[in-house]
Amino acid sequence: MNPIRSILVHVDGTAASAVRVAMARELAAQQSAVVTALYAVTRNPLPVPFVDPLPCAAERRDRARAIFDEALKAPGCSVTWTELGVDSEEIGGFVRHALCCDLLVMGQHMAGDIASHDVPPNFTEAVMIDSGKPAIIVPHSRKTGSTGRRIVIAWKSTRESARAVACAMPLIRCASRVHLVHWREADDDVQSLDDIERHLRLHDVEAMRDELVRANSGVGDAIVSFASDIDADLIVMGCYGHRRLREIVLRGATRDVLMSTSVPVFMTH
């Protein structure tokens, strides 16, 4: 288990950037970490039908910087602002920075926000998969509130799930309440639940075990619904997917959670 000492937060021209910066500062204070904000956008975003032309690059950058500066007026740790070079591709450039940090704070894609056209729709997923670094994905609907006080661990006996728990352990150990949720499938390994509970206890974490009721919804929707019902402020789960040529393919619960969650999600691939 590595400590979290460096946090990289993605900033763009959306108002949600301020929420991500605030979350990164909160976690940095908890973990004694430093925070870097990286401005990364598409150099030539696609035009949006039925709206005025998108602002030029300088205007987009100034808007993002203004949102960032306003966020830093709240008390908290300092944050270093940095930008990709003019010749850097947004995903590859962000990945290069991500490789030398402990935790990413990224955003959920906002399809209805004009400013969200500054980044590709698959930006967050691509950075997670290409960098292999753990990330907290912040829902676009999130405004304020603590993160990591009430954690839901969505456990499945897989490499991705185990790695997510290991990477999130510094946060899990600081939580006031931890729920270990699981769901029944044909290849269930009941022993793995006892094993992960035992592992958590070795880290001084007493988790409550809960079984998800899937009903007519998929696992992803059930996870999000459970987390909302118990007022959780962080979901920890593995990221199941891969890059196929230039396409990001996310599977099952990963895809559903990233699309529908109203709760921040800690993921690693």
The secondary structure of the chain as a DSSP string is: -----EEEEEE-SSTHHHHHHHHHHHHHHHHT-EEEEEE---SSPPPPTTSPPPPPHHHHHHHHHHHHHHHTTSSS--EEEEE--TT--HHHHHHHHHTT-SEEEEE---TT-GGGGGS-TTHHHHHHHHH---EEEEPTT--S--SSSEEEEE--SSHHHHHHHHHHHHHHTT-SEEEEEE---TT--HHHHHHHHHHHHHTT--EEEEE---TTS-HHHHHHHHHHHTT-SEEEEE--EEEETTEEEE-HHHHHHHHH-SS-EEEE-
> pLDDT tens for residues 173-208?
999 999 999 887 655 566 788 999 999 999 999 999
Tell the residue number behind the tokens 């032309």, with chain if given: 53
* Residue 166 shares a structural domain with residue 206: yes
The residue from 138, 171, 188 where one domain ends is 138
Same domain, residue pair 134 and 258: no
Please report whether residue 44 resides in a domain: yes
- pLDDT grade for 241, boundaries at 50, 70 and 90: confident
Strand-strand pairing, 241-244 and 247-250: antiparallel
CA dihedral 267, 170, 203, 238 (to 10 degrees): 0
Q: How many domains does the chain have?
A: 2
Residue 133 reports pLDDT greater than 60: yes
Does 74 share its domain with 183? no
Same domain, 127 and 12: yes
In a domain, 21, yes or no: yes
Q: At what angle are helices 190-202 and 159-172 packed, to 10 degrees?
A: 30
Question: Containing domain of residue 254, as a range?
Answer: 150-268
Same domain, 81 and 201: no
Poorest-confidence range of 78-87, 118-127, 209-218, 254-263? Answer: 209-218
From CA 65, how far away is CA 59, in angstroms rounded? 10
CATH classification at residue 219: 3.40.50.620
Which phi and psi angles does 218 have, rounded to 5°? -80, 175
What lies within 8 Å, CB to CB, of 49 at 6+ separation is none
Mean pLDDT of 214-218: 65
Q: Are 192 and 182 in contact (CB under 8 A)?
A: no
| Full DSSP string of 149-166 | SEEEEE--SSHHHHHHHH
Q: Provide the pLDDT for residue 119.
A: 86
pLDDT at 25: 97
pTM metric for this prediction: 0.90
How far is 181 from 179, CA to CA, in rounded Å? 6
If you average pLDDT over residues 217-224, what whole number do you get? 84
**pLDDT bucket at 50, cuts 50 / 70 / 90:** very low
Strands 135-138 and 265-268: antiparallel
Domain boundary, last residue among 103, 138, 173: 138
How does strand 150-154 pair with strand 177-182?
Answer: parallel
What the block records as the tokens of 2 is: 């590595």
CA–centroid distance for 174 within its chain: 18
Most confident of 50-59, 184-193, 220-229: 220-229
Q: Which DSSP string do the residues of 90-137 spell out, in sequence order?
A: HHHHHHHHHTT-SEEEEE---TT-GGGGGS-TTHHHHHHHHH---EEE
